[in-house]
């Protein structure tokens, strides 16, 4: 029981701090970049990637450091995680992500309750989210197969890069998407745009499960 509680606590803390990093660095970047959106995105990407390296390193041994329902779904589909545990992870991740956004708003003296007006619509954005999620899961699966100790750095570097090479700036995470709908800051997404992102992320995770298991299978 205690181990299960520690796993959920690690997922809660990691996901909350991930959103604090994403939204907080977005707010700070927007305030300091003087309207230069490229500089703001660069700062947002670096802060998010750096935070991921730290969070995965310190919390990975406790919970696996998923911080992402798509990652939990991926491991459940691979048969490496019980479905009931994956469901608990996903619930905790979503709650923690929302709380992370609220704490960030308090920290920056913003209204706690907001709704984003930043529309991110259309098939190109959905395709970008599918690609971003597939790439993230590929980094995890490949890291587990060939370089387990490097997974924190692999994930952090991948997300930093994917902020720039995907049209959607690589949410790649349903919990993050839901929470970012609740901030009208640089990193927000309008609630009307969120379902398309989440559907693309979950479909990519469902496809990645068997595909990456085959690709990175141990030799016979």
**pLDDT tens-digit readout, 150-167:** 999 999 999 999 999 999
| Percentage of residues of the chain with pLDDT beyond 70 | 100
**Interval 61-70: pLDDT, tens:** 999 999 999 9
CATH superfamily of 2-215: Glycerol uptake facilitator protein. (1.20.1080.10)
- pLDDT tens-digit profile of 178-201? 999 999 999 999 999 999 999 999
Sign of CA dihedral 181, 183, 187, 189: positive
Q: Which pTM does this prediction carry?
A: 0.96
Stretch 34-47: mean pLDDT: 96
Contacts of 68 (CB under 8 A, 6+ apart): 15, 93, 136, 172, 173, 174, 175, 176
Q: What is the DSSP letter of 148?
A: G
Residue 114: closest CA among 32, 31, 190: 190
Cα(184)–Cα(24) distance, integer angstroms: 12
* Residue 1: per-residue pLDDT: 63
What whole-number distance in Å separates Cα of residue 124 and Cα of residue 113? 30
DSSP states along 47-80 = HHHHHHHHHHHHHHHHH----SHHHHHHHHHTTS
Domain boundaries, the chain: 2-215
Tens digit of each residue's pLDDT (9 = 90 or more) over 135-153: 999 999 999 999 999 999 9
């Amino acid at each position: 029981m205690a181990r299960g509680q520690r796993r959920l606590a690690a997922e809660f803390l990691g996901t909350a701090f991930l959103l604090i990093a994403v939204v907080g660095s977005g707010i700070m970047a927007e305030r300091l970049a003087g309207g230069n959106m490229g500089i703001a995105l660069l700062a947002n990407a670096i802060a998010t990637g750096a935070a991921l390296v730290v969070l995965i390193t310190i919390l990975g041994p406790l919970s696996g450091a998923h911080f992402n329902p798509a990652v939990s779904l991926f491991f459940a589909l691979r048969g490496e995680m019980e479905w009931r545990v994956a469901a608990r992870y996903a619930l905790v991740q979503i709650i923690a992500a929302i709380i992370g956004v609220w704490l960030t708003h308090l920290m920056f003296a913003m209204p706690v309750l907001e709704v984003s007006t930043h529309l991110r619509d259309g098939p190109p954005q959905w395709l970008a989210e599918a690609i971003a999620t597939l790439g993230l899961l590929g980094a995890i699966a490949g890291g587990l197969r060939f370089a387990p100790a490097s997974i924190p750095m692999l994930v952090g570097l991948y997300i930093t890069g994917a902020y720039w090479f995907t049209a959607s700036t690589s949410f790649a995470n349903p919990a993050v998407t839901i929470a970012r709908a609740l901030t009208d800051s640089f990193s927000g997404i309008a609630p009307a745009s969120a379902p398309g992102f989440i559907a693309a992320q979950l479909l990519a995770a469902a496809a990645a499960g068997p595909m990456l298991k085959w690709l990175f299978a141990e030799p016979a």
